[in-house]
């Protein structure tokens, strides 16, 4: 016979989890529910009456050329940010992995950008690339390039990509470095004895062995670029010029708080919510795969 | 094939010197075992030969080349690691073929060599598996296979058997020996297991604290240990060491017993192996038995030199029974008595 342990039911466990549950309810569940509810409403131009319209807001969105363009722009932006910041982080980590002396100082310096608030990171890049005052336009001018992200959409896009990628490098770097250092030294040494040079070892061994980390970072960076770059874009370009740097989160804010189309904005945020849920599920399901040495 | 020469080899990490002026010559086709306690610098020495550690001082020659500055890849060596160091994402076949692929050998030739090695090592059925789908012993074979397909001038082994269970270890030990004899490749093998060292090596280099204590054949080391360290390290159970005093060709033990065999003068240490002590009616070495271990083929008596607390072990053939407290007299042949100087720990002739 198995004996069951019976705990006297008491309020204590509920009391202990209550703060977490309350915070989740107040700050996550309730606003999410509000957003879903709002996305079913259309308000008239003067804000005098609201009408429950089921999915009309969504229908409008998917027929809206601008929204679809924003969607593709966001995909491009996210891919660019993820690829740029991950490649740079990968290269830096590959070098840091070989550094022996001063490694700690190097790593500490590497992590600093991550601690910078998005708006400040944005401001930093705005100053550096200011067409009249910035150092980079000055340098670019010398090679005959006329930099002006206030006028040229492509320049503005590049600038927000740089700023967003730069901030994420530190995070990616740490994960890549940790992944590289978890590869047993002797595996790399065996390859060296087998005749593989550093580049070959990276290509044949290190890169395949850290592929779970690459996948994990890909999801994390995509989520970051989709949702956490609002501050940078707001500080650098405000979505302009001519919406050329308006990505989905920025459009939610713009349509809702500037354009005052609350229903449409809520519908957009609901779509974003489903995107983030999907990405999180993907991450949890596939990221847990590990390499066994 | 190649010989290996170590000349005045020094390794230091910062200010700490871990290998001190090592000299040695390893002949073409010879199997040399480097043996010593943990932390004595065995792996460091091997890794210097492999090119995985820089050389602080001295020279390493492989064949007629000085290889100090050569990359591991250019030394024409193969190494088997303690943890096998297989490439986890490659199949057994790819693991073995990797070195050949880098050397741009043709596909057919690679397949031929991999399959030949797989047949020798009896891992043919596992060629398409990943390392994680293999047992420890099979992984070990793959690691060996990866070394032999390359057909290198030198094999280096760093404790390749220490992760295997006792039975498999004995089996693999024999196989490594057979393989090496068949291929005739110069080999250096690192271990801290003296039985492994004795059975495998043509010659043994005994390292202790970064110094070479002795470099010779297993029998030389057993019969004529040059230092107390070697005397105590080689042979199991370890040699008995009895403090004694020599005057006028007579050795006096610490309990006053006298032996007619002597070397040196003044304070000495007399070393006698447990298996060299023979029961004798008038034996001078009297042992008070404290504990008896029956191993079947022989019996170990643990005790102390009578009247002292110098611990002693005696190994007698067959079954012997001796109750605790029994006193027994032993003697030993003169050639089995070794004299050492207590200060330098060196053998006295
Ligand atoms: N990177 C290093 N920096 C400083 N000291 C080191 C380094 N690597 C090894 N040592 C020291 O060098 C000595 C020899 O180490 P080594 O690994 O060669 O020992 P070993 O004989 O192989 O021991 P084991 O049987 O435990 O493997 C040790 O005292 C160790 O502490
Ligand atoms: Mg070692």
Structure token pair of residue A80: 């660019």
pLDDT at residue number B154: 94
CB B85 within 8 A of CB A187: yes
pLDDT at residue number A82: 95
pLDDT digit string, tens, across residues B57-102: 999 999 989 999 998 989 999 999 988 999 999 999 999 999 999 9
Q: Is B58 helix (H, G, I), strand (E, B) or coil?
A: strand
Q: Please tell me the residue having the least CA distance from ligand 1 atom 4.
A: B13
CA distance to partner chain A, nearest, from residue B132 (Å): 7
Q: Please tell me the residue having the least CA distance from ligand 1 atom 20.
A: B39
pLDDT at residue number B155: 94
Q: Which of B44, B158, B163, B206 to mutate to test the pocket of ligand 1 (most atoms within 8 A of CB)?
A: B44
Task: Report the predicted TM-score, pTM, of the whole model to 2 decimal places.
Answer: 0.80
Structure token pair of residue B202: 């043509």
Of B73, B89, B132, the CB nearest to A193: B73
Whether A292 and B86 lie within 8 Å, measured CB to CB: no
B161-180 b/e (C-beta count within 10 Å ≥ 16 → b)? beebeeeebeebbebbbebb
- Confidence band for B213, pLDDT divided at 50, 70 and 90: very high
Residue A62 contacts by C-beta under 8 Å, 6 or more apart in sequence? A68
Whether B72 and A192 lie within 8 Å, measured CB to CB: yes
Of B78, B85, B99, the CB nearest to A184: B85
Q: Smallest Cα–Cα separation from B244: which of B268, B227, B264?
A: B268
pLDDT at residue number B313: 95
A180: domain CATH number is 1.10.3720.10
pLDDT at residue number A100: 63
Q: What Å distances lie between residue A291 and A161, A187, A208, CA to CA?
A: 32, 13, 10
Chain B residue numbers with beta carbons less than 8 Å from the beta carbon of A190 are 79, 81, 85-87, 146
CA distance to partner chain B, nearest, from residue A221 (Å): 26
Q: Which ligand is nearest to the CA of B38?
A: 1
Sign of CA dihedral B241, B242, B245, B246: negative
Ligand 2 ion: residues within 5 Å (CB): B 43
Domains of chain B: 4-230 (3.40.50.300), 237-340 (2.40.50.140)
Q: Which ligand is nearest to the CA of B53?
A: 1
Whether B146 and A190 lie within 8 Å, measured CB to CB: yes
Q: Which structural domain, as residue segments, surrounds residue A163?
A: 74-290
Q: Smallest Cα–Cα separation from A252: which of A93, A45, A54, A39?
A: A39
Q: Which residue of B has its CA nearest to A190?
A: B85
Q: Is B77 helix (H, G, I), strand (E, B) or coil?
A: strand
pLDDT digit string, tens, across residues B197-212: 999 999 999 999 999 9
> How far apart, in whole angstroms, are the C-alpha atoms of residue A161 and residue A27?
30
pLDDT at residue number A276: 85
pLDDT at residue number B62: 93
Report the separation in Å between the CA atom of B214 and the middle of ligand 1, taken as the mean of its atom positions: 20
pLDDT at residue number A254: 84
Q: Residues lining ligand 1, judged by CB closer than 6 Å?
A: B 13, 18, 36, 38-44, 192
Q: Smallest Cα–Cα separation from B81: which of B2, B165, B161, B26?
A: B161
CB A293 within 8 A of CB B88: yes
Beta-strand relationship, B4-13 and B16-26: antiparallel
Structure token pair of residue B41: 């610098």
**Contacts across the A-B interface (CB distance below 8 Å):** 64
**Looking at the domain assignment, is residue A210 inside a domain?**
yes
Q: Residue B26: is its pLDDT beyond 90? A: yes
pLDDT at residue number A127: 86
> How far apart, in whole angstroms, are the C-alpha atoms of residue B232 and residue B214?
13
Sign of CA dihedral B70, B71, B76, B82: positive
pLDDT digit string, tens, across residues B256-315: 989 988 898 899 999 999 999 999 988 889 999 999 999 989 999 999 999 899 999 999
DSSP state of A4: P
CB A94 within 8 A of CB A202: yes
Q: Please tell me the residue having the least CA distance from ligand 1 atom 9.
A: B44
Phi and psi, residue B324, nearest 5°:
-55, 135
- Mean pLDDT in each 10-residue stretch from start to end of chain A (293 residues)? 65 88 90 85 70 78 85 93 95 81 76 80 84 83 81 87 90 90 91 91 92 88 88 84 85 80 83 86 70 52
Q: Which of B17, B43, B53, B158 to mutate to test the pocket of ligand 1 (most atoms within 8 A of CB)?
A: B43
Q: Which ligand is nearest to the CA of B44?
A: 1
**Looking at the domain assignment, is residue A35 inside a domain?**
no
Residue A252 contacts by C-beta under 8 Å, 6 or more apart in sequence? A265, A268, A269, A272
> How far apart, in whole angstroms, are the C-alpha atoms of residue B240 and residue A47?
102
Which atom belonging to ligand 1 lies closest to the Cα atom of B192?
25
**Looking at the domain assignment, is residue A228 inside a domain?**
yes
> How far apart, in whole angstroms, are the C-alpha atoms of residue B84 and residue B134?
12
Q: Residue B21: is its pLDDT beyond 80? A: yes
pLDDT at residue number A290: 55
Angle of helix B107-121 relative to helix B92-102, nearest 10 degrees? 130
Q: Please tell me the residue having the least CA distance from ligand 1 atom 14.
A: B41
pLDDT at residue number A7: 64
> How far apart, in whole angstroms, are the C-alpha atoms of residue A115 and residue A292?
33
pLDDT at residue number B316: 94
Which atom belonging to ligand 1 lies closest to the Cα atom of B190?
22
Q: Is B49 helix (H, G, I), strand (E, B) or coil?
A: helix
Average pLDDT over residues B127-152: 91
Cis amide linkage into residue A241, ω under 30° from 0: yes
pLDDT at residue number B25: 94
Sign of CA dihedral B334, B336, B341, B344: positive
Strand partners, B272: B240, B337
Residue B231 contacts by C-beta under 8 Å, 6 or more apart in sequence? B225, B239, B241, B271, B338, B340
The count of domains in chain A is 1
> How far apart, in whole angstroms, are the C-alpha atoms of residue B28 and residue A255?
81
How are strands ordered across the β-sheet holding B240-247? B258-259, B250-253, B240-247, B266-272, B337-340
CB A269 within 8 A of CB A252: yes
> How far apart, in whole angstroms, are the C-alpha atoms of residue B170 and residue B159?
13
> How far apart, in whole angstroms, are the C-alpha atoms of residue A87 and residue A93?
10
pLDDT digit string, tens, across residues A229-251: 888 888 888 877 888 888 888 88
CA distance to partner chain A, nearest, from residue B52 (Å): 7
pLDDT at residue number A116: 80
CA dihedral A19, A21, A27, A31 (to 10 degrees): -150
> How far apart, in whole angstroms, are the C-alpha atoms of residue B213 and residue B227?
7
**Looking at the domain assignment, is residue A52 inside a domain?**
no
């Amino acid at each position: 016979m198995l004996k069951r342990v019976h705990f006297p039911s008491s309020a204590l466990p509920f009391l202990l989890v209550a703060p977490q549950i309350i915070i989740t309810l107040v700050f996550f569940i309730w606003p999410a529910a509000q957003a879903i509810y709002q996305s079913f409403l259309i308000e008239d131009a003067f804000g005098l009456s609201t009408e429950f319209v089921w999915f009309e807001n969504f229908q409008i969105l998917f027929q809206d050329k601008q929204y679809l363009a924003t969607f593709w722009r966001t995909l491009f932006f996210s891919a660019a940010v993820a690829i740029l910041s991950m490649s740079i982080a990968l290269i830096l980590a590959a070098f840091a992995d070989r550094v022996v002396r001063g490694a700690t100082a190097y790593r500490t310096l590497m992590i600093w950008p991550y601690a910078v608030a998005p708006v400040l990171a944005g401001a930093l890049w705005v100053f550096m690339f200011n067409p009249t005052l910035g150092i980079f336009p000055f340098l670019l001018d010398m090679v005959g390039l006329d930099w002006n992200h206030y006028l040229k959409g492509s320049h503005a896009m590049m600038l927000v990509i740089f700023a967003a990628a730069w901030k994420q490098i530190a995070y990616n770097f740490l994960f890549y470095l940790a992944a590289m250092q978890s590869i047993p030294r002797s595996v790399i040494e065996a390859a060296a004895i087998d005749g593989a040079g550093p580049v070959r070892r990276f290509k044949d061994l290190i890169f395949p062995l850290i592929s779970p980390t690459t996948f994990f970072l890909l999801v994390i960076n995509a989520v970051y670029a989709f949702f956490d770059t609002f501050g940078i874009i707001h500080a650098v370009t405000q979505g302009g010029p001519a919406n050329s740097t308006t990505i989905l989160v920025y459009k939610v804010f713009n349509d809702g708080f500037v354009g005052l189309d609350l229903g449409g904005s809520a519908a957009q945020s609901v779509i974003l919510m489903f995107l983030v849920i999907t990405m999180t599920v993907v991450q949890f399901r596939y990221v847990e795969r590990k390499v066994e040495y | 094939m190649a010989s290996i020469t170590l000349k005045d080899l020094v390794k230091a990490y910062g200010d700490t010197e871990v290998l001190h002026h090592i000299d040695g010559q390893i002949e073409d086709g010879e199997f040399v075992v480097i043996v010593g306690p943990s932390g004595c610098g065995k792996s460091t020495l091997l890794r210097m030969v492999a090119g995985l550690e820089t050389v602080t001082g001295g020279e390493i020659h492989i064949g007629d080349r000085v290889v100090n500055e050569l990359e591991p890849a250019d030394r024409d060596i193969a190494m088997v690691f303690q943890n096998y160091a297989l490439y986890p994402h490659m199949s057994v076949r790819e693991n073995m073929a990797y070195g050949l692929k880098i050397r741009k050998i043709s596909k057919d030739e690679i397949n031929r060599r991999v399959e030949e090695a797989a047949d020798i090592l009896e891992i043919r059925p596992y060629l398409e598996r990943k390392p994680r789908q293999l047992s420890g012993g099979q992984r070990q074979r793959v690691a060996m296979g990866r070394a032999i397909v390359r057909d290198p001038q030198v094999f280096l082994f760093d404790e390749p058997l220490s992760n295997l269970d006792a039975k498999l270890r004995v089996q693999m030990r024999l196989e490594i020996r057979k393989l090496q004899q068949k291929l005739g490749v110069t080999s250096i093998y690192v271990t801290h297991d003296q039985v492994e060292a004795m059975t495998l090596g043509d010659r043994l280099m005994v390292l202790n604290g970064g110094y070479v204590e002795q470099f010779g054949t297993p029998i030389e080391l057993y019969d004529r240990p040059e230092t107390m360290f070697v005397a105590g390290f080689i042979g199991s159970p370890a040699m008995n060491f009895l403090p004694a005093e020599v005057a006028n060709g007579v050795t006096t033990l610490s309990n006053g017993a006298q032996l007619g065999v002597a070397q040196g003068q003044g304070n000495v240490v007399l070393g006698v192996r447990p298996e060299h002590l023979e029961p004798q009616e008038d034996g001078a070495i009297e042992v008070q038995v404290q504990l008896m271990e029956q191993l079947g083929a022989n019996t170990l008596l643990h005790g102390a030199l009578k009247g002292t607390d110098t611990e002693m072990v005696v190994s007698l053939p067959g079954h012997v029974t001796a109750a605790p407290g029994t006193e027994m007299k032993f003697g030993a042949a003169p050639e089995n008595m070794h004299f050492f100087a207590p200060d330098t720990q060196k053998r006295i002739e």
